[in-house]
Amino acid sequence: MGVAPTLGTACPSLPPEGANPPWGGPAVDSVAPTLGTSSAALPPEGARPAWGGPAPVVAVAPTLVAARPLFQTIAVIAYPRISNLDEFQPLKNIPGVRLLWVRSPVELAGLVPGRDWIVLPGSKHTSGDLAWLRAQGLAASVAAFAGQGGAVLGICGGLQMLGEALIDPHGIDGNAPGLGLLTLVTVFEVDKTVRHTQARFGPVRGLWAGLSGVTVSGYEIHHGHTQQAGLAQASELAQPAMPDGLAWQNPAGNVLGLYLHGLFEDPAALQALFDPGGTQALPTLDAVFDGLADYIGRYFEPDFLAGLIQPSCPSASATESL
């Protein structure tokens, strides 16, 4: 990668690869740190970068996560037709949290009930991924973890899997028995729900109690609706955790299912789940982008970024032919 030419109508030739740029630091290629979980290659926090400005605050977020002691693992089941993976990326920036993608029961063996979570994410084919869970032995592992009081969260298709059964009268997804962790039945419908949604959690018990009364924004994208199965004893019935059947919880308080995507992208939800005392500013995606924009505004020359996306200069041969 070379150095961008000076803005203007002229197109000077680029300096040789590795040449020092005009602002006095090393070549651009040698400045950018390698991203990853290791912080060994990065300068000390607060050190001035080679090009003379102060260290950008946003650039060290991955390093801060890696440097802090681990206190929680969030294991997301990565079934073959998993959907909406991006909504879990903010978890990678939560101090002390390890995001683990799981495809076998062995990877769940070290989880600690009462501390760690298992997440059943969205699915593009709920009954098919539910069959895969059983074939891999993961369905039994999830049920055993929940039976020990471990936190299990189901999102959209994951919520549907947590129930007693999937009923498909229109041939949309397929009939299947659920995991039986919530006394719910999902009936698939022809019309698909696709909408942005803002909703408020009602009273939430147990491991998810921090979400009580929190208003979150997200989106729904699913077939069918989920409702009480109606066959269990009253003491075993799933309880609504949001209006309109958007979220449900088991009586013990450790299993929660919701249709709303984007829980971990909502700053209020992140604060409630990971820092209820408000002792630290959690690195939400909006905060990272705001910090990056502030840094560029303070330390980049005006119109520098615009110059990087201007069309390339015509080649010498093309100029001579004009």
Selecting among 125, 222, 261, 313, the annotated active-site residue is 261
Alpha helices in 198-299 (DSSP H): 267-274, 285-299
**Pairing mode of beta strands 165-167, 184-200:** parallel
Q: Report how far Cα 70 is from the mean position of its chain's Cα atoms.
A: 18
Known catalytic residue at 156: yes
Q: Are 192 and 223 in contact (CB under 8 A)?
A: yes
Angle at which helix 138-147 crosses helix 126-136, to 10 degrees, equals 80
Distance CA 88, CA 48 (A): 32
The token pair at 251 is: 């009586």
Tell me the one-letter amino acid at 196.
H
Q: Report how far Cα 71 is from the mean position of its chain's Cα atoms.
A: 18
Q: Are 305 and 296 in contact (CB under 8 A)?
A: yes
Distance CA 313, CA 169 (A): 61
Distance CA 109, CA 141 (A): 9
Alpha helices in 94-150 (DSSP H): 126-136, 138-147
Known catalytic residue at 11: no
Q: Are 67 and 44 in contact (CB under 8 A)?
A: no
Residue 180 contacts by C-beta under 8 Å, 6 or more apart in sequence? 143, 163, 164
Q: How far apart are the first and last CA of the chain?
A: 29
3-state helix, strand, coil in the chain (%, to 5): 30, 20, 45
Selecting among 11, 156, 225, 313, the annotated active-site residue is 156
The token pair at 318 is: 């093309």
Active site residues: 156, 261
